[in-house]
Amino acid sequence: SQQGEEDPQALSIQEGENATMNCSYKTSINNLQWYRQNSGRGLVHLILIRSNEREKHSGRLRVTLDTSKKSSSLLITASRAADTASYFCATTDAGNMLTFGGGTRLMVKP
């Protein structure tokens, strides 16, 4: 079964707008990671946030983690057409296996 549920499943925005994707998970985690997958390609690691961290930034990406609510969000600021992709959250638990959510398909229109 999937560990994470992502919301929304699909998101369409205009270039320059911000995109926010949410992820909820079920069990205790060691860390949570976000990945991007362009159509027909492999997954690319974007950012990792540890269970004792609440917020992390990387360039135009901002990730938050709320372990009390078992949820995370990924914010992409000033989106570009090149950000069009599927975004997946993934968690590791005590077994250290990386388990993925169902993904959010983001379309950024020029």
Partner 1 sequence: DTAVSQTPKYLVTQMGNDKSIKCEQNLGHDTMYWYKQDSKKFLKIMFSYNNKELIINETVPNRFSPKSPDKAHLNLHINSLELGDSAVYFCASSQGTGFYGYTFGSGTRLTVV
Kindly state whether residue 45 participates in binding partner 1, applying the rule CB under 8 A.
Answer: yes
Residue from 33, 71, 72, 84 in contact with partner 1 (CB under 8 A): 33
Looking at the Cβ atoms of 10 and 81, the one nearer to partner 1 is 10
In order, the DSSP letters of the chain are: --SEEEE-SEEEEETTS-EEEEEEESS--SEEEEEEE-TTS-EEEEEEEETT--EEEETTEEEEEETTTTEEEEEE-S--GGG-EEEEEEEE-TT--EEEB--EEEEEE-
Contact residues for partner 1 (CB under 8 A)? Answer: 2, 30-31, 33, 35, 37, 40-45, 48, 86, 88, 92, 95-100, 102-103
